[in-house]
Structure 1
Amino acid sequence: MSEWLSSNLKELLRAEEDQMIAWRRHLHQYPELSFQEEKTPAMIAEILNGFELDEVRTQVGGRGVRGLLCGGAPGPTVALRADFDALPIQDQKEVSYKSQVPGVMHACGHDAHTASLLGLARVLARHRHLLSGNIVFIFQHAEEENPGGAIQMVEDGVLEGVDAIFGAHLWSPAPVGKILTAPGPMMANVDDFYIEIKGRGGHAALPEQTVDSIVVGSHIVATLQTIASRNVSPLESVVVTVGSFRAGDSTNVIADTCKMSGTVRTFLPEIRDLAEHRLKEIVIGTATMMGATAAVHYDHGYPAVINTLHEASILRDAAVAAAGEEQVEWMKPTMGGEDFSYYLQRVPGAFVFIGAGNPEKNAIYPHHHPLFDIDESAMKISAEVLGLSALNYLMQGTGGEEA
Structure 2
Amino acid sequence: MRQAMHREPELSNNEWKTQQRIRDALERFGLSDAKIFHKTGLYVDIEGAAEGPRRAIALRGDIDALPIQETRDDLPYHSQVPGLMHACGHDMHASIALGTALAFHRMRENFSGKLRVIFQPAEEAEPLGGRSVAEEGLLKGFEAAIGFHVKTDLPAGMYGARAGAVTKSADQFALKLIGTMAHGARPHAGVDAIAMAGAFINEVQKIVSREMPFADGAIITIGTIAGGEATNIICPSVTMTGTIRTSSPERRTLLVQRVREIAEGVAAMHRGKAEFSHRFGEPPVVNDAAMVDRFRRLVVDTVGEDRFADKISPVAGGGSDDFGFYSTCVPSLYFWFGSEDERNHSGVHTPTFGASDDLLVPTTELAVRYCLEMLNS
TM-score by length of 1: 0.86
Q: Identity percentage over the alignment?
A: 33
Structure 2 residue 38 is the aligned partner of structure 1 residue 38: no
Residue in 1 aligned with 2:361?
380
Give the deviation of 1:36 after TM superposition: 1.2
Question: Contact 2:112/2:375 (CA < 8 Å) preserved in 1?
Answer: yes
Residue matched to 2:155? 175
What is the rounded CA distance, in whole Å, between the counterparts of 1:381 and 1:205 in structure 2? 69
1:65 aligns with 2:42: yes
TM superposition shift of 1:160: 4.7
Amino acid at match of 1:90: Q
Compared CA separation, residues 115 and 121, structure 1 to 2 (3 A): same
Question: Retained in 2: the 8 A contact 1:187–1:335?
Answer: yes
Give the 5 Å matches for 1:93-242: 93-94=72-73, 95-242=75-222
Q: Deviations over 1:202-250 (max 9, x none)?
A: 4434333332211211110110111112222345431112122222254
- Secondary structure of 2:329's counterpart equals coil
Deviation at 1:178, TM superposition (A): 2.6
Letter in 1 for 2:6: H
Question: Which residue in 2 is equivalent to 1:48?
Answer: 26
Q: Provide, for residues 307-358 of structure 1, a one-character-per-residue CA deviation record: whole Å limited to 9, x for no partner.
A: 1122222222233345422221223554311111212222222101111122
Q: Measure the CA separation in 1 of the matches of 2:256 and 2:173.
A: 9
2:224 maps to: 244
Question: Quick check: 217-226 or 270-279, which moved more?
Answer: 270-279
Deviation by residue 1:262-302 (Cα, 9 ceiling, x = unmatched): 11111223311221121111101111111221111111110
Contact 2:50 2:108 in 1 (8 A): no
State whether structure 2 residue 294 is matched by structure 1 residue 311.
no
Confirm or deny that 1:25 pairs with 2:3: yes
Aligned amino acid, residue 33 of structure 1: L
Classify the secondary structure of the residue corresponding to 1:168: strand
Letter in 1 for 2:234: I
Match of 1:357 among 329, 340, 343: 340
Residues of 1 paired with 2:239 and 2:56: CA distance?
A: 49
The one-letter code sitting in structure 2 at the alignment partner of 1:349 is S
Counterpart Cα distance in 2 of 1:367 and 1:382: 18
Gaps of 5+ in 2: none
Match of residue 370 from structure 2 = 389
Question: Is 1:86 aligned to 2:65, yes or no?
Answer: yes
Indicate the SS of the match to 2:46.
Answer: strand
Instruction: State the aligned residue count.
Output: 371
User: What SS does the aligned partner of 1:296 have?
Assistant: strand
Checking the alignment, whether the CA contact within 8 Å between 2:133 and 2:326 is kept in structure 1 is no
Runs (5+) with no aligned partner, structure 1: 1-22, 397-403
Q: Deviations over 1:366-388 (max 9, x none)?
A: 21212221122222232123112
Conserved? CA contact 1:182–1:332, under 8 Å: no
1:20 aligned residue? none
Q: TM-score normalised to the size of structure 2?
A: 0.91
1:54-83, CA deviations, whole angstroms, 9 ceiling, x for partnerless residues?
Answer: x63232232221122222314322221101
- Give the secondary-structure state (helix, strand or coil) at the position aligned to 2:166: strand
Q: Is the 1:84–1:110 Cα contact (8 Å) retained in structure 2?
A: yes
Paired letter, 2:348 = H
Residue 17 of structure 1 is matched in structure 2 by none
Cα pair distance change 1:32/1:236, threshold 3 Å:
closer
- Write out per-residue CA displacement over residues 135-161 of structure 1, whole angstroms, 9 at most, x where no aligned residue: 221111111123411221333343354
User: For residues 234 and 80 of structure 1, what CA distance do their matches in structure 2 show?
Assistant: 32
Q: Distance in 2 between matches of 1:276 and 1:198?
A: 20
CA distance in 2, matches of 1:134, 1:389: 14
Q: Is the 8 A contact 2:56 2:115 kept in 1?
A: yes
Question: What displacement does 1:85 show?
Answer: 0.9
Q: Which residue of structure 2 lines up, in the alignment, with residue 399 of structure 1? A: none
Whole-Å separation in 1 of the counterparts to 2:120 and 2:299? 23
SS at match of 2:102: helix
Is it true that 1:338 corresponds to 2:295 in the alignment?
no
2:13, 2:127 within 8 Å by CA — same for their partners in 1?
no
**Equivalent residues of 1:83, 1:140 under 8 A apart:** yes
Aligned partners of 1:41 and 1:58 also within 8 Å: no
After superposition, the C-alpha distances for 1:26-65 in whole angstroms (9 at most, x for unaligned) are: 1111111111111111111111122223x63232232221
1:98 CA displacement: 1.9
